[in-house]
Amino acid sequence: MKRWIPTILLVALWGVVLFILLTPESPNGHGFQHSRFVAMDQGGNGADRHESLFIAGWIFGSLLIACFVSLLLWGTKKKEHGLLFLVGGLIYEGIFGMLCFSYWKSLTDSNVAFIGPFPASVSWLLFGIWLIPAFFIGLYVFFYDRWIFPIESEQKFKMLVEQRSKN
Amino acid sequence: MEEYRSLIVLVSVVAYMAMCIGVGLWAMRRTKSTQDFFMAGRQLGIIVASVAVFSSTMSGWGFVGGPGLVYKMGTSSFWMVISTSIGMCITFFLLGKRLRLFAELREPISLPDAVTARYGSPTTSLLTAVAILLGVMGYLATQILAMATVLQSILADVSWIGLLSIQACVAISTAVLVFYCVTGGIIASVYTDLVQGIIMVIAAVLVLVAAITTVDGGMTGMSQTILADDPEAMSPWGTLGMIGCLSWYFIFVLGACGQPHVITKLMMTRRVEDARHMLPVSVVGYGITALLWIAIGLSMRALVLQGVHAELTNADDAASQFLQHYAHPILSGVVFAALLAAIMSTADSFLNIGAAAIVHDIPRALRGQSLHRELLWARTATVMIAVVAAGFALYTGDLVALLGAFGWSTFAAAIVPTVAIGFNWKRATPLACNVAIVSSLLLNFSLKLFEIELPHGFHGGAFSLLVSLTLFYVISVLSPPQPIASDIEAIMDL
């Protein structure tokens, strides 16, 4: 493992998490009881409660995605195909960026744009963030015998098992 | 009509329980050793193992608490649902092959066994087993309580049975669970998981259709209704807000590869390369079952806002109210069976790993050997754990909620560094694992016990995970490298 990658990611994560935790929270910043229904919450004004932390939140989310994709690449045996993971990671980051952008835009627009049956930002979440792992699943399935468990690894493993059973 | 509905639900649930008992009897003949009891003799096929993975992940809480969260908080809990696809990816990339190689080479019968093989440290193995046992007791108690509550409400609707006490319902549901787990061990558990998973998938698809047809305008109608009442509830962050949702994303994605009842199943497959096909099947299966979570939650919130349905006094009633008022009786029957299936498929996995911790992992860590007649003791321990967890569920009140709530976070913060990272990184040391596990237990317990809430809805478990990962990494880098057994080192290179 190249030590600088986890070091940078951890330091960056701590930086943004501490910034978030030390930033004063607006009143009812993470929801309050609905005015009419007792078991329901409301979020209130999105601009008010997110204004001070929106950029930090976007960086936090982007760092998480970078961590996840780095872990996926780390789980492959051959790292020379990292370009594909970089492409997947950039798409992932792009989708998250679109989610944040469309949410922020919806706060100022009088009419909320819809993509399919949901507001655009929720569609980015459900049809983008939820489904983007299909790209990495595809890589796992199609390149399993080249990147994850190639034939030479399989042969070495068989030898190890045989050796151990002899002992 | 109501009596007819109750009868159909009762028949579905009784048929489902009879199936569980039948599978237990069938599996008993295939369980001849502790390897069979805890590891299914490493003979699981792709479909069985994949369904076991996703049905163990989707617990009863997902079927009851999930819709309740959407009703209460809008879209916030979508982050829990969507985290599973990337979470399972990371689990398979890091552990799919690795754990299976460990399983074939060293023949461990539990996760702490594999930890012993990797680190050669009884202390690390003991701490892993203790963390698992603590998480198991909490999780199992909440699952048993949920199972009994569901059974009680089903039986209460049948006029000739009436309201049974919660103790009686705990006894009935636990008896069925224990019967198939004791007789058939993990073999019964995974084969019931297969049926349970199929029931859950069917139920989720049918509920989605029912939800769309119930609310005027379908899914778009639900969105517009919720949006008109509170735009934030229909934003990507729901009422919880951006930071809370992203902290959920962190703990639920990375935490996925620290759930022992799920990752243990990666060691049980017939061939190493089975992981290749298990990943898509598990992700798609979970994704479909999660539709129930989203569909019921959104539709109930919209129906209440539209004034079509009376206000709920408890958000967790969203699923049962929807089924009672808007689902066909046969669908209600299927979904109630699916609900019990979701609970049992998680609970049986916990029973299995809990029994392994008691009869195998802890004795081995303390005295260097496991118990004699291990299979007999494994069956005895399964009964004991279930009885203690049932007692726990009935008589300890808030403690159950406390342990249940911290279960996922405990597993995540204790096991992700030790197993998911440490099994792929030779530089990881036993000392780093021990510190990570102890710190995660202390931090998670303290945050819950003292009811410490972090600002902006930041999840306490996410904070614990970040702390334990950092301690693990820094201590590993700073402490002297530890020798690794040559065969283990060789498979870490593969």
Between CA B362 and CA B377 the distance in angstroms is 13
Q: How far is B31 from chain A (nearest CA, A)?
A: 24
Fold of B2-398: Sodium/glucose cotransporter (1.20.1730)
- Within the 258-317 window of chain B, which residues sit less than 8 Å (CB to CB) from chain A? 272-273, 275-277, 279-280, 283, 287, 301, 304-305, 311-315
Between CA B472 and CA B483 the distance in angstroms is 17
| pLDDT on residue A1 | 61
Q: Mean pLDDT for each 10-residue chunk of chain A (167 residues)? A: 87 98 90 94 93 96 97 85 93 98 92 94 97 97 93 93 84
- Is B244 in contact with A153 (Cβ distance < 8 A)? no
pTM of the model: 0.93
- Is A133 in contact with B85 (Cβ distance < 8 A)? yes
Question: Which of B235, B253, B425 lies nearest to residue A106, judging by beta carbons?
Answer: B235
| pLDDT on residue B140 | 85
Give the residue among B198, B238, B283 at the shortest CA–CA distance from B79: B238
Q: Where are the alpha helices (DSSP H) in B231-309?
A: 242-255, 260-263, 275-305
pLDDT in tens, B394-433: 876 655 555 565 678 888 888 999 999 999 999 999 999 9
Between CA B88 and CA B112 the distance in angstroms is 21
| pLDDT on residue B405 | 58
Work out the widest C-alpha separation in chain B, in whole angstroms. Answer: 72
- Is A149 in contact with B458 (Cβ distance < 8 A)? no
Question: Which of B74, B93, B276 lies nearest to residue A72, judging by beta carbons?
Answer: B93
* Contact residues, chain A, for B233 at CB < 8 Å: 41-43
Domain ranges of chain A: 4-23+52-150
- Is B78 in contact with A122 (Cβ distance < 8 A)? yes
- Which residues sit opposite A33 in a β-bridge? A41
The residue of chain A with its CA nearest to that of B318 is A39
DSSP string, A27-53: TTTT-EE-SS-TT-EE---HHHHHTTT
Asked if the C-beta of B208 comes within 8 angstroms of chain A's C-beta atoms, the answer is no
The residue of chain A with its CA nearest to that of B256 is A68
CA geometry: angle B174, B176, B182, nearest 5 deg: 90
Residues of chain B with pLDDT under 50: none
Number of Cβ within 10 Å of residue B307's Cβ equals 8
ipTM of the complex: 0.97
Asked if the C-beta of B223 comes within 8 angstroms of chain A's C-beta atoms, the answer is yes
CA geometry: angle B460, B463, B469, nearest 5 deg: 140
The number of angstroms, rounded, from the C-alpha of B163 to the middle of its chain's C-alpha atoms is: 29
* Contact residues, chain B, for A128 at CB < 8 Å: none
Between CA B471 and CA B422 the distance in angstroms is 13
* Contact residues, chain B, for A38 at CB < 8 Å: 311, 313
For residue B387, the surrounding DSSP H or E stretch is helix B374-395
pLDDT in tens, B319-370: 888 988 898 888 888 888 877 877 887 888 888 899 999 999 899 888 888 7
| pLDDT on residue B399 | 58
- Is B276 in contact with A148 (Cβ distance < 8 A)? yes
* Contact residues, chain B, for A32 at CB < 8 Å: 239
Question: Which of A118, A136, A144 lies nearest to residue B223, judging by beta carbons?
Answer: A118
Give the residue among B298, B420, B192 at the shortest CA–CA distance from A126: B298
- Is B231 in contact with A106 (Cβ distance < 8 A)? yes
Q: What is the CA radius of gyration of chain B?
A: 22
- Is B93 in contact with A130 (Cβ distance < 8 A)? no
Domain ranges of chain B: 2-398
